[in-house]
Structure 1
Amino acid sequence: MPSQSSLPLDGLDSPASMAGRLALPVPAGHLDELRLPDGTLREAWARFFSVLGDLHPEALDVRAAAVARQIRDNGVTYNVYADQSETRAWQLELFPFLVSEEDWAVIEAGAAQRATLANAIMADIYGPQTLLAKGLLPPGLVYGHPGYMRPLKGYQPPGGSFLQTMAMDLVHTENGWTVIAHRTETPSGMGYALENRLIISGQFADAFREMRVRRLPPAFAQLISTLAHAPLVAATDDGPGLASGTGLQIVLLSPGPFNETYFEHTFLARYLGITLVEGKDLTVRNDVVYLKTFGGLERVDVILRRLDDVFCDPLELRSDSTIGVPGLLEAMRAGNVMVSNVPGAGFLESPAIHGFMPGIARALLDETLILPAVSSWWCGEAAAQAEAMGMLSEAFVMPTYPRSPGEPRLGMERGLQPLDQWRDRIAEAPDRYTLQAPLPLSHMPCWEPDEGGCGRIGSRAAMLRVFAVADGNGGWQVMPGGFTRLAPPNLEAVSMQLGGTSADTWVLSSQGSGAVPLAARTGLAAPTGSRPLAVSSRAAENLYWAGRYAERAENTVRLCRQILGSIESNDETDDGTLNMIGQLAQWFGLVPAQTPSPQASLRVFERNLVATLADVNSTSGVVQTLASHARAANEIRNRLSNDHWRTILAARNDFHDAMSAAACPSGTPGGREGAYDRSQVLAALEHLSMQLGAISGAQGDRMSRDEAWRLVFIGRHIERLGVLSLFLEVAERSGALQSRSGFDLLLHLFDSTLTFRSLYPGRTDTAALVDLLVLEPTNPRGLYGVLDRLREKLAQLPTGATGQSRVPLAELLPPASALPSRTVLCEADRSGRYSTLAALCDQLGGRMAKLSDEIGGRYFSHAGVAPETDLP
């Protein structure tokens, strides 16, 4: 499949000819990935468009909209530290980046060679340092780089491999492929590459199959296999011994949700089946790393790191790091944990190293580099500086070391720099600057939609990142595809932070890929055991609150629907019921504090209710609960099915969209202040209620019955018991129980209307109500039944690291059999009020609040609270 040939075009209306007419020319001097110099489509693109068929702008707009919608539905994000508001949605181009079979053969061999060389450099620099002694690598470039870790000099990693993954950024020119950067510290992009593939291959399924695109999953299987076979020396009670590699505890260490690529961290943890942790989740005891789990401390054997080197250990590196693990380097030196990649590879990312790589390759591998690198001159060497200064007006000025906060951006992110602005700076601190020869990036086609239906095929500068994964035996597997990044329109700087986009990368093949093997072929012994996914204390807290927020959202939405329904039929709604509605709306933050009561003005009350529902910045009510639920779920995303996660996002996003359409604030066409479509509001709440029911089903039916599920269950039932007790207490104290409308409202809020009518046809007495809403054990929302089921799950929780002297949680709540009977609860006082019933509800609500605090202190923050005997 020659990459420079073109297919014949049959007629003016063929897909290839239409693509040619839609495509804009690329800037002069840049390789056109779409067309040959004579203007005909390259063979791969001609095939792609031929299979695609319909190239009318309207059809491509529909596909592009579907891609954007799926990104939103999947919650694919890229955080930018400069953004002060929400996370930024991931930007994915419609068309894939096509790599021919012949080009990939060169890339694959070259990437594996450079990964081998990088690992050999690491072994030498942290070992005998022959490269420094022979002058093949300047000591100033190594020792002066903050990525060199002096505490690890002499360190020998498990198995002798410093790197398990490595990435290389490549530029395509008329002369082939050129390496422009190495990524050895925490190579990012593999997760985004797979997510891009899942989305784009679905849009172009026929083309994906016809063009025999190579698959990505084997590289991920190789990565987890390599990590799972870490040859560790385990510390045991009897002394050191060889760890068998079975059932190793593997975690992915992330800086946390504010990191720019946090989506990828959660994606990889879920896809690889490992525990996602932050630095505060780990602790080091006696040179062994432990995970602070819900049930106590569990040893960690392997850490897949996404935390920058200098932040890893505040004891030996940056002392101000609050996201690292104190003592981590000492645990590494003791051989008790493998960290992937080993901290200290950052100096290999310096652009200055490119000029030294050919000589190093000959010295360490006795090989010539397959993939050339961009021409670079490190100004820290006098001879190189003199040569570089002669071409300063044409070259890019690059930072030799990572940019410090507040320093100006250099290199291709800013374009060519004027000579006069840099000559004095370089002369003052020459080692800090590296000059690179200009390298024109190739331009790939991308779809540019137009509101008038006249979209065009534009072009953007593109850079390909490829990934090499160690196989555990000294070899490397290169993922057949990669992470292609595109520059923003009219720029040559490829930077996601500056508004760049991404594209799926298709490596074409003349042969079918065949079935993906169940396990990576490493030659290593297969593990003989397994270990369940640990529940860290932080994950436990988010699981617990995911349950609570999901239950809270259901009850709040049900309350909103009933309030609007009661207002609609206000002729049948008495003052007691309106009083109940007003109190509950204020309690749940559904209306601002200064809102008049329903009795004073139903119209103003309803308008404020709808305005709060439509306010995306609301700090209470439905919007805030949905947002909090999504945040908690995002922290435990590796434990949720795709459908579960997507439904959570859809509930939040769909409700926001529906309320935006239903509410018409002033300033919108045809709108007036406070206007809204009541039927649309009710429809939005009904749709949200169905989605919350799906989430409830996913929590109850799609999760393994393990500690994680029990935490969700406990969170739900604590919230349920507290909220339902509040409903019943407010109904009694407001006098709503004395009327038919209040009676019916309460049944609706307990979601028990149909059950009540079937069990007690025609009855509206308090005894029947108490029977179903309080005493009936089979009612999923009966207070006594909820209490007993909660006590049962509390009894199944582990004692915990601090809980040996603590009273079991189940004993902090009385059994339902010890609570007041029907006779006592239904006994009215002289004023006709059921004070015992109201007091019981108040007591249960208070117990739930204190129980929640006790769970948090005992299992999440591990606070040393004095043992309780009861929760009064």
Structure 2
Amino acid sequence: MPGPAAVSAAKAKAKRLVEMTAAYRPLAGVPDEFIGADQRPRGHWLEFFDKLAGLGGEDIARRFETIERNIREQGVSYRAYGETVDRAWPLSHLPLLISEQDWAVIEAGVTQRAEVFESLLADLYGKAELISGGVLPAAAVTGSADFLHPMIGVRPPGGRFLSLYAADIGRGPDGQWWVLNDRAQAPSGLGYALENRLNLSRAFQNIYREMNVRRLALFFQEFQAGLAALASRSDPRVCLHTPGPYSETYYEQAYLARYLGFVLVEGADLVARDGQVHVRTIAGLKRADVIWRRIDSDFADPLELRSGSHLGVPGLVETIRQGNVAVANAIGAGVAETPALLGFMANLTGRLLGEKPILPNIATWWCGQEAEREHVLDRLQDMAVAPAFNGASSRALLGRAVVAGELSEERRAALASAIRERGADFVGQEVVRLSTTPVWTERGLEPRPFVLRVFAAVGADGEFHVMPGGFCRVSDRMDSRAVAMGAGVQTADVWIAANRPVEQTSLLPRADAAPIRRIMGNLPSRAADNLFWLGRYIERAEATLRLIRALARRAIENDDLSREGAATIQRLRKLLADWGAVPARPKTALTAQAFLNAAMFNVDENGSAIALARASRRTASTIRERLSSDTWRIIVDLIQKLEDRRLPLDEPEILELTDKALQAAASISGLAQENMNRVAGWRFLEMGRRLERGVNTCAFVRIFGMEQAQTSDFDVLLELIDSQITYRSRYIVGVAPHPLRDMALLDPFNPRSVAFQTERLGEHIATLPVLKFDGMPEAPNRIAIELQADLQTKVAASVTSDFVLSIERRLMDLADAIAARYFLQGANAARAEKQVGLA
């Protein structure tokens, strides 16, 4: 028999459950996922809320805060269409729960629909028997801008048009699940669905395990293997082709590339040459076997498709024709998303598979047919009208789906006239109110409409496998048609609750199927470029922060500004102005406090501390797949330290802030040293840091360590190169010019000296690939060797300002040489046949 404490805890839990759910009311006439048609809670939802109530109010709130904090720290983000600023990912605190019985229907229906579209695409780009046989009107296909004539007769390598299909579905008033839209062009949401799962399962680990939620890893394993199976080589190079960092879903693309082990590439990273597609890498051109595209088909090849595209690869279509590269989904697959086809899906399912649809789509009538057009016009008051095709010209006629009954009489009459004149451009659809799901608000549980995107991917066995879950979007408005990622829309993890323990799976392959590798493959030139500049921006930010800190200290400590002290402060201010931290010619003279605030926080100056930190984050965001979550978190933390401030700050506050910001910068460098594999990516990050540090130190030596410098300048120089302790441990006497110049410039044992930087640069460059094995050093290697030799043979007594300036300029020449050699762009890419070890 349970003791008093257990009984009391059970009563408290039961009370919390009642308080949590008693006030929940479905919307009138609208189905709900929590409350069934019999007005009773569904069992799997009641089980979830019962377990949630067992946590207690404070624990629940703490877990909700953990979810939001993790999303911020991980930098999970997206962009609404047309925006240029990233938004934090809006994850609902509650999952969408689906029973095994419902899921069995969804899984079978999505698989069936994917097979229908696979067969349909094979016919449309093949024999076109459906059109010639009168099953499908030609105009319902050819009216779509996504039907690409250059792909007619092209059988994709591997024989598959679809490697990934998705259906947006919702539950209708009859309790049946309905298909709202089909996604075959470049379905998005997979990576976000995985992120949602990781965050919710960590926050509610015990509930997740006890409810036997089906895992996602096996689906991704099948998808990964299915793409690899499209290649002709046993160890293929699979690339994820992204539109670039300004894509609305770039975060997801980078995340999936890292998770699945694919190479993230942009169009400029790829070149079609000699019948093959290659990735531009620091080692030359390396063959790409499979391209998972996240750009629309018509952007894929400016030679044969959209001529103005800068996202695609010239010559890609011809390479596909020759069967030398597999593209998933096949170019032209987007025609499957054409709304006009929805009116024919029931007939197509019977014709192509000999089956009835398991998941019907929303009743749709294409107005390109006379009978269907008249049906829509007769019932226009009760119809939703949408563009029949996805092209811009079609959408220009209407914009988006509208409910005709909600239009003014004048607009409804104009719409009817347009349908009569150009009926083929419109579809009429039944207006259906879809079901709602509980969301957690400040007022408690409330119902909200949702749309669920379910994914099916082809595995290595050639069969479609459905992800047990999906990408759920929840609207804050009562209109399910408004559920698109933007203001007021959340996403939710999707839990398929099983009746028995589920099998634990992961992306780890079998031990006998995993070839041992110690590097991640050849580094794309774009990634090398961004890693190089990430290192430079971080080092530049650190140097600027050190200058600001030195200036703040002297503003606080120097009571009687002697001429010497005043001259040092003036030099610090001039260098910050020369570096672009503050306006070179301010409208009014800046006080010490105003100057420091400007150098720290002025977003309009590219050299300010906050501008450099943002540049670091912007550059890091383009190579998210190559950075650990810890590194990204610290970069975000550096930004937050500088942004979350009430301005202006006084000098002591700025001094404290620069210390914290420098600690964050040091943490980034420390993570790179301790956690990044010693391969090409790490080397380019390091070379960026070493070059920037060498250039900055030369500037420090010229201004604070040469002939015109005073004792106070020498102290600043030691502070800027962080060598005060080292100097004092070596020299009993005060700061003297020659020892100081030796330590800052020539000492190979001082990690802050220019000589130390050039030695590291030489070591890194010596390990990088070369184009020709002719015994002749390439430009970066030659410049690095010359720099090392000059610094090794120089003595401090003979160092002049001209010598320091020459070292500084040659370091900048070295940066240019590295860029010209390794950051291949456009015509600068060396031809494939001249590369060493084409793989």
Is TM (by shorter chain) over 0.5? yes
Cα-to-partner distance string for 1:451-488 (whole Å, 9 max, x where unaligned)? xxxx3322221010000010133311100110001123
Number of the residue aligned with 1:648? 635
Structure 1: gaps of 5 or more residues = 1-8, 233-244, 450-454, 664-674, 828-835, 866-872
Q: Tell me whether 1:327 sits opposite 2:298 in the alignment.
A: no
Deviation at 1:804, TM superposition (A): 10
Number of the residue aligned with 1:282? 270
Measure the CA separation in 1 of the matches of 2:612 and 2:61: 34
* Secondary structure of the corresponding residue to residue 341 of structure 2: helix
1:851 to 805, 814, 820: 814
Contact 1:580–1:734, Cα closer than 8 Å, also in 2: no
Q: 1:416 to 1:249 in 2, by over 3 A?
A: farther
Measure the CA separation in 2 of the matches of 1:685 and 1:414: 60
Deviation at 1:561, TM superposition (A): 1.7
Q: Tell me whether 1:117 sits opposite 2:107 in the alignment.
A: no
2:682 to 706, 709, 716: 709
Number of the residue aligned with 1:582? 573
What are the residue-to-residue correspondences of 1:158-237 with 2, within 5 Å? 158-173=157-172, 174-232=174-232
Number of the residue aligned with 1:770? 741
* Secondary structure of the corresponding residue to residue 495 of structure 2: strand
What are the residue-to-residue correspondences of 1:479-494 with 2, within 5 Å? 479-492=467-480, 493-494=482-483
1:410 to 400, 406, 417: 400
Identity %: 35
Measure the CA separation in 1 of the matches of 2:533 and 2:560: 38
Amino acid at match of 1:192: Y
Number of the residue aligned with 2:661? 688
Contact 2:280–2:824, Cα closer than 8 Å, also in 1: no
Deviation at 1:106, TM superposition (A): 1.0
Measure the CA separation in 2 of the matches of 1:854 and 1:231: 36
Amino acid at match of 1:204: F
Amino acid at match of 2:105: V
Q: 1:460 to 1:398 in 2, by over 3 A?
A: same
Contact 1:246–1:528, Cα closer than 8 Å, also in 2: no
Cα-to-partner distance string for 1:95-145 (whole Å, 9 max, x where unaligned)? 111111111111111111111121111111112222112222221111221
Q: 1:571 to 1:698 in 2, by over 3 A?
A: same
Cα-to-partner distance string for 1:744-763 (whole Å, 9 max, x where unaligned)? 22111101122222222453
Deviation at 1:784, TM superposition (A): 1.6
Q: CA RMSD in A?
A: 2.8
1:505 to 487, 491, 494: 494
Contact 2:13–2:54, Cα closer than 8 Å, also in 1: no
Contact 1:403–1:409, Cα closer than 8 Å, also in 2: no
Number of the residue aligned with 1:747? 718
Number of the residue aligned with 1:420? 413
Contact 1:246–1:527, Cα closer than 8 Å, also in 2: no
Deviation at 1:227, TM superposition (A): 1.3
2:593 to 606, 625, 629: 606
* Secondary structure of the corresponding residue to residue 277 of structure 2: strand
Deviation at 1:61, TM superposition (A): 5.4
Deviation at 1:803, TM superposition (A): 11
Measure the CA separation in 2 of the matches of 1:95 and 1:456: 12
Measure the CA separation in 1 of the matches of 2:88 and 2:707: 47
Cα-to-partner distance string for 1:121-179 (whole Å, 9 max, x where unaligned)? 11111122221122222211112211112111122222321111000001113422111
Number of the residue aligned with 1:869? none
Q: 1:396 to 1:413 in 2, by over 3 A?
A: closer
Contact 2:226–2:458, Cα closer than 8 Å, also in 1: yes
Q: Tell me whether 1:516 sits opposite 2:505 in the alignment.
A: yes
1:731 to 704, 713, 725: 704
Contact 2:64–2:203, Cα closer than 8 Å, also in 1: no
What are the residue-to-residue correspondences of 1:143-542 with 2, within 5 Å? 143-173=142-172, 174-232=174-232, 245-404=233-392, 407=396, 408-411=398-401, 416-417=406-407, 419-449=412-442, 455-492=443-480, 493-497=482-486, 499-516=488-505, 518=507, 532-542=520-530
Q: 1:789 to 1:57 in 2, by over 3 A?
A: same
* Secondary structure of the corresponding residue to residue 320 of structure 1: coil
Cα-to-partner distance string for 1:278-298 (whole Å, 9 max, x where unaligned)? 111111112211111112111
Deviation at 1:648, TM superposition (A): 1.5
Corresponding pairs, count: 806
Cα-to-partner distance string for 1:800-836 (whole Å, 9 max, x where unaligned)? 499998844121242434348675x336xxxxxxxx3
Q: Tell me whether 1:623 sits opposite 2:610 in the alignment.
A: yes
Structure 2: gaps of 5 or more residues = 1-9, 829-839
Deviation at 1:557, TM superposition (A): 1.6
1:838 to 784, 801, 807: 801
Number of the residue aligned with 1:671? none
Q: 1:815 to 1:346 in 2, by over 3 A?
A: closer
Number of the residue aligned with 2:4? none
Q: Tell me whether 1:49 sits opposite 2:38 in the alignment.
A: no
Number of the residue aligned with 2:18? 17
Contact 2:555–2:592, Cα closer than 8 Å, also in 1: no
Cα-to-partner distance string for 1:179-221 (whole Å, 9 max, x where unaligned)? 1111001011001101111122222222212211111122111
Measure the CA separation in 1 of the matches of 2:508 and 2:671: 29
State the TM-score, normalizing by the size of structure 2: 0.90
Measure the CA separation in 1 of the matches of 2:207 and 2:313: 47
Measure the CA separation in 2 of the matches of 1:459 and 1:801: 66
Measure the CA separation in 1 of the matches of 2:675 and 2:556: 38
Contact 2:156–2:326, Cα closer than 8 Å, also in 1: yes
Amino acid at match of 1:720: R
Deviation at 1:726, TM superposition (A): 0.5
Cα-to-partner distance string for 1:332-354 (whole Å, 9 max, x where unaligned)? 01000000000111221122222
Number of the residue aligned with 2:85? 86
Q: 1:307 to 1:713 in 2, by over 3 A?
A: same
Contact 1:444–1:461, Cα closer than 8 Å, also in 2: yes
Contact 1:16–1:46, Cα closer than 8 Å, also in 2: no
1:797 to 768, 784, 795: 768
Q: Tell me whether 1:722 sits opposite 2:710 in the alignment.
A: no
Q: Which moved more, 1:719-728 or 1:145-154?
A: 145-154
Deviation at 1:301, TM superposition (A): 0.8
Deviation at 1:262, TM superposition (A): 1.2
Number of the residue aligned with 2:649? 676
Measure the CA separation in 1 of the matches of 2:826 and 2:775: 14
Number of the residue aligned with 2:788? 816
Q: 1:260 to 1:815 in 2, by over 3 A?
A: closer
Cα-to-partner distance string for 1:394-431 (whole Å, 9 max, x where unaligned)? 11111111151782432169995453241011111111
Q: Which moved more, 1:174-183 or 1:713-722?
A: 174-183
Amino acid at match of 1:228: A
Cα-to-partner distance string for 1:502-558 (whole Å, 9 max, x where unaligned)? 11111111122222055679xxx9686878433222111101101111111222222
Q: Which has the higher helix share?
A: 2
Deviation at 1:16, TM superposition (A): 2.5
State the TM-score, normalizing by the size of structure 1: 0.87
Q: 1:428 to 1:702 in 2, by over 3 A?
A: same
Q: Which moved more, 1:247-256 or 1:615-624?
A: 615-624
Amino acid at match of 1:591: V
2:672 to 679, 686, 699: 699
Number of the residue aligned with 2:97? 98
Q: 1:735 to 1:640 in 2, by over 3 A?
A: same
* Secondary structure of the corresponding residue to residue 304 of structure 1: strand
Number of the residue aligned with 1:832? none
Contact 1:583–1:730, Cα closer than 8 Å, also in 2: no
Deviation at 1:611, TM superposition (A): 3.8
Cα-to-partner distance string for 1:340-387 (whole Å, 9 max, x where unaligned)? 000111221122222212222222212222112111101111111122
Q: Tell me whether 1:35 sits opposite 2:35 in the alignment.
A: yes
Contact 1:214–1:513, Cα closer than 8 Å, also in 2: yes
